[in-house]
Structure 1
Amino acid sequence: MASEVTPCASTSPPDSSGLRISFNTRSTQSSNKGLFRATWWFEDLSALSPNLIEMLVKSMVSRGYNHVIVSGFLFYYQKSKFYTASSDEKREVLEIVIDMLYTLDPSSISCKSLFGVLRPVLRSNISKSCRNKLESMIGSQLDQATIDNLLIPSYGRSYLYDVNLVLRFLKAFLREGGSESSPIRMKKVASLIDLYITEVAPDRCLKSSKFSALVMVLPDSARDSWDELYHAMDIYLEVHTGLSKEEKMKICGGLNYKKLSSEACMHLSQNTKFPSTSAVQALISQQWKLKNLLEGMHNAKHYTDFTAKEDRGREQVVVYNEKLRAQLKGMQWRVMELEKVCKKMQNQMAKIMKAKVLTHSDARPLPRLCS
């Protein structure tokens, strides 16, 4: 006779398979036995109707059963039922599974398994409330998603990928406290979305309003660098040549020039696909970086002279000063390189403004930004 199983009430995070068993094991064999002891009833109960499953799961949760095991059973139930179920039965199963998952501890549910449920949901006519619950659960764990998870085809629409769905995921992530709970989670989501924007940018049917929404949905603090977003914008403008000036300005309006690398700023200053104001902003950003670098050099040199006078003769300070002087030489080289870049950008801007003078007689000369 099979021994009775009483899953523990803990809700430790699941592993990649969506099911984690909290047994102390010393070997693979004992681990397999533990897995069997915890899940032997999955197949037997999968024959029950959705209504009975709902009653069963509610009872298990109220009795403190392990949420990880309960969620694992719900995913198993959904897959096993789909082999023989009709369209209406599939819809009923999906709604019960989603409703029950929504009552569990979010940390007990695998993000990968949620995307597995999402695929049939997109092809079925489930209730809006259940769809919203599933999107909310996925959004709250968006930092665990992959780029392949997000590249969801847009069924019945002209554009390739379902951008609206990803935007709803992002809003759910922000709504569930993703922006406040952990800066690390936020940066992971930002990196993921930058990859996603780069993937969808070549879609000729993607409207500029949707592209701008993807760029602007996350706060500026989510990104340390905007180079990846600039690259995505460059691709989008390359493909969508018929955009109006206003549409281009809206797309570029969210670009943080101070978080662009020197290479990206240099490329932008010569990029005719972008509005001319963007080239000016890139030049101003480079001047700002150059100014800060020069000020840093001045402060470092002042500190070096001061320590040399106060601590002359002390061997440790001499070694430190030698290292600092070497750093100063490196900084001087960087200044020279930035001055070269600035000079090239000035020449490029002079050409742009010269072209504008030919069409606008009242155009004012470009102020001298670099000295």
Structure 2
Amino acid sequence: MSSSSMARHGPSRRGGEAWFCTTGLPSDVVFEVQDMSFHLHKFPLMSKSRKISRMLAEQDEQRPAGQRRRRRRGSSVANAEEHAVAAAAAETEIVEAEEEEEEEDGDKEQEQVRMEDGKSYSITFPDFPGGPGTFEAAAKFCYGVRVELTPWNVAPLRCAAEYLEMTEEHSEDNLAARAEAYLSQSVLRHPGEATKALKSCEELLPHTEELGIVARCVETIAARSSATSRSWFGDLAVLGLHMYKRVMAAMAAREDVRTEALEGCLVSYAKATLPGLSRSMRWRRASAPVSSEVEQRDLLEAVVASLPADKGSGSVVTAKFLFALLRTAHILRASDAARAAIERKAATQLEQATVEDVLIPSYSGAAETLYDVDCVERVVRHFLAEEEVGEDEASSSAAITEEEAAARTTASRPSAVAMVQVGKLVDNYLAEVASDANLKPAKFCKLALAMPDHARIYDDGVYRAVDIYLKAHPRLTAEERDRVCGVVDCRKLTVEACTHAAQNERLPLRAVLQVLFFEQLQLRRAITGTLLASTASPRARHPNPHPQRPAAALRHAADPSEAWRTTTVQESQTLRVDMDGMRSRVQGLERECSSMRRAIKKIDGGASPGSAGPDADTPAGWRSRYRCKFSTQVCDSQARDAVVSRASRMGMSP
């Protein structure tokens, strides 16, 4: 059959579950490692392994006296065989081939005959670390074959060397020393190589624990996790849950490990091990089979437990990642504690989320709605709870000053920008879920009213959601329609929204009347503002009769409703003053007109009848006759105290 070159020093062949090493001399010892039999020679193995040498000596002592005498007589032959094996090892290659069944049966019968003759030894290693593959590599090393060390096999070979007692005390340049040198000089200098070695240690417990390989690999990964290059973070995906927890615990215990490094390891491990968490990464650990739902749930809860307690920068553990984690928790039916922890963590970065992130489908069979609205409402409540906690902490201490209390409140509560962003997010989310026919009015209103008034500069977004909801639910009762429309503050609608609402047939009559009323009120405010701007220059010349009024208005500006009420009162007072001034000007004009009429009558009554020309009765005639000059006057509403003498108005000389 076909053959392939495997290593040097002696031809070998593997047939079925038996491994033969042929050097021209018959094998004299058989090793049973799990389900594999190795037919080897004792002298190369005894020269490197103290354990094998001791076990063969014990078997010699247990043999009958006749066999021991034959063994002593054949010692010279054995020595010759040893030299022959060494010579053959220096000139030939170990090859691995598949032989015909007849040849294999013949070899087995020949080995069986040698064992019955008492010339062969049998040693069983039922718990050999690393299994048959590692024993094969150790046996090749005993024959002088060059064994290439890698991060994947250095831990098994180090355990095998310890198990077989292949140390420097027994033989120089032995397997234990070579494995230790490679481990310290190559593997433990790079966290990615240490991660591979740590993965190989998972099947070698407790041997690797006793040799300290696990502790050294974990310490290497934790110590170098704060390096600039983090390309090796993806290598952590090969680790099992137990080893991953040890690595994360070691990283958290070090003071020099930054939060970004912890988050980077966390995100890389979660995306690679939890299915569906990252749609762009579809590969799975090649060393492990597909995990069951229970194993995936354990992985998820371990990742959640490793989430940093503080808010963090949000550059690594993003809002998209947290909501994807929350979606996966719903799919895997994670514990309530794990889901609550993710919701609280997601609330800290809610202002960075998008509508696609918060659209979490309802995976429960009892849920009626398409999306889990209750989950989003809980996240919003957690976000708002931070503001309440900040206010309570700032007001609970009586020893601090007012400025310090305000500073603490500002630092602990969400910023105004974040609040407005969350308000927009909630409005857009309501518009997306409003078309769900199974969404109850109470649940819709509860989420819409969860945000405070200062979270919305304008209510156009929530009005749009209400309009979509009314269109998708045409069978609502009058009471339900009024309740849904009640979430919109008509005072905060823009002109475009007011125009649309005034013509919206889906709105109840009461809501339309409110929109029209507040639209009219806005119009009056606009007119009042124009009048204030036109009269600002004359009023500036008069002293302020109420110097404390602006300060009082500023004190009440914190409350939106109080500020609106104060502004309305001020506008009403200003309008009243302007109306009084206009009334005074009109009365003055009426008095002047009456005086002019009396003067004209006197002039007309004093003229002689015969001196009148043909056009004496016309206004132009008597004006030209008596040289009366009437200047044209324009009423200027801008001037309040315009006083002009009657003589100058009529153009008469004094």
Partner of 2:435: 202
Contact 2:259 2:312 in 1 (8 A): no
* Residue 90 (1) aligns with residue 296 (2): yes
Which structure has the greater CA radius of gyration? 2
Q: Secondary structure at the match of 2:313?
A: helix
Residue from 133, 142, 152 that aligns with 2:341: 133
C-alpha distance in 1 between matches for 2:305 and 2:190 = 27
Unmatched tracts of structure 1, length 5 or more: 6-20, 24-33, 310-371
C-alpha distance in 1 between matches for 2:531 and 2:523 = 12
C-alpha distance in 2 between matches for 1:267 and 1:77 = 51
* Matching of residues 213-292 of structure 1 within 5 Å: 213-292=446-525
Counterpart amino acid of residue 131 in structure 1: R
Partner of 1:346: none
Partner of 2:328: 120
The alpha-carbon deviation at position 302 of structure 1 amounts to 0.9
Residue from 364, 384, 400 that aligns with 1:174: 384
Q: Secondary structure at the match of 2:306?
A: helix
Residue from 252, 261, 274 that aligns with 1:69: 261
Q: Name the CA shift for 1:77/1:297 in 2 (closer, same or farther; >3 Å).
A: same
Residues 292-316 of structure 1: CA distance to partner in whole angstroms, max 9, x if unpaired?
Answer: 112211211112446799xxxxxxx
Residue from 360, 373, 376 that aligns with 1:163: 373
C-alpha distance in 2 between matches for 1:228 and 1:105 = 29
Contact 2:348 2:383 in 1 (8 A): yes
Residues 34-75 of structure 1: CA distance to partner in whole angstroms, max 9, x if unpaired?
Answer: 42xx342651x4444324433432331221211111122122
Partner of 2:245: 54
Residue from 417, 421, 441 that aligns with 1:184: 417
Counterpart amino acid of residue 150 in structure 1: V
Q: Name the CA shift for 1:214/1:298 in 2 (closer, same or farther; >3 Å).
A: same
Contact 1:46 1:77 in 2 (8 A): yes
Report the number of matched residues. Answer: 281
* Residue 143 (1) aligns with residue 335 (2): no
C-alpha distance in 2 between matches for 1:55 and 1:103 = 19
The alpha-carbon deviation at position 285 of structure 1 amounts to 0.5
* Residue 40 (1) aligns with residue 232 (2): yes
TM-score by length of 1: 0.69
C-alpha distance in 1 between matches for 2:379 and 2:370 = 18
The alpha-carbon deviation at position 97 of structure 1 amounts to 0.5
| Higher normalized helix content (fraction of residues) | 1
Contact 2:226 2:261 in 1 (8 A): no
Counterpart amino acid of residue 414 in structure 2: S
The alpha-carbon deviation at position 81 of structure 1 amounts to 2.9
C-alpha distance in 1 between matches for 2:507 and 2:311 = 47
Q: Name the CA shift for 1:48/1:245 in 2 (closer, same or farther; >3 Å).
A: same
C-alpha distance in 1 between matches for 2:353 and 2:378 = 14
Residues 106-156 of structure 1: CA distance to partner in whole angstroms, max 9, x if unpaired?
Answer: 335222222232232111122111110001111110101111111222223
C-alpha distance in 2 between matches for 1:227 and 1:112 = 26
* Matching of residues 7-22 of structure 1 within 5 Å: none
The alpha-carbon deviation at position 22 of structure 1 amounts to 8.1
C-alpha distance in 2 between matches for 1:125 and 1:102 = 23
Q: Relative to structure 2, which stretch is displaced further, 96-105 or 199-208?
A: 96-105
Q: Secondary structure at the match of 1:181?
A: coil
Counterpart amino acid of residue 207 in structure 1: K
Contact 2:350 2:383 in 1 (8 A): yes
Counterpart amino acid of residue 299 in structure 2: V
Partner of 2:589: none
C-alpha distance in 2 between matches for 1:101 and 1:136 = 11
Q: Secondary structure at the match of 1:75?
A: helix
Q: Name the CA shift for 1:76/1:140 in 2 (closer, same or farther; >3 Å).
A: same
Contact 2:323 2:346 in 1 (8 A): yes
Q: Name the CA shift for 1:54/1:128 in 2 (closer, same or farther; >3 Å).
A: same
The alpha-carbon deviation at position 99 of structure 1 amounts to 0.8
C-alpha distance in 1 between matches for 2:482 and 2:319 = 37
Q: Secondary structure at the match of 1:225?
A: coil
Counterpart amino acid of residue 56 in structure 1: V
C-alpha distance in 2 between matches for 1:104 and 1:90 = 25
* Residue 211 (1) aligns with residue 444 (2): yes
Unmatched tracts of structure 2, length 5 or more: 1-185, 192-224, 275-283, 285-289, 391-412, 543-654
C-alpha distance in 2 between matches for 1:70 and 1:104 = 12
| Higher normalized strand content (fraction of residues) | 2
Counterpart amino acid of residue 294 in structure 2: D
* Residue 80 (1) aligns with residue 272 (2): yes
C-alpha distance in 1 between matches for 2:324 and 2:431 = 24
The alpha-carbon deviation at position 168 of structure 1 amounts to 1.3
Q: Name the CA shift for 1:105/1:216 in 2 (closer, same or farther; >3 Å).
A: closer
Contact 1:269 1:283 in 2 (8 A): yes
Q: Relative to structure 2, which stretch is displaced further, 247-256 or 141-150?
A: 247-256
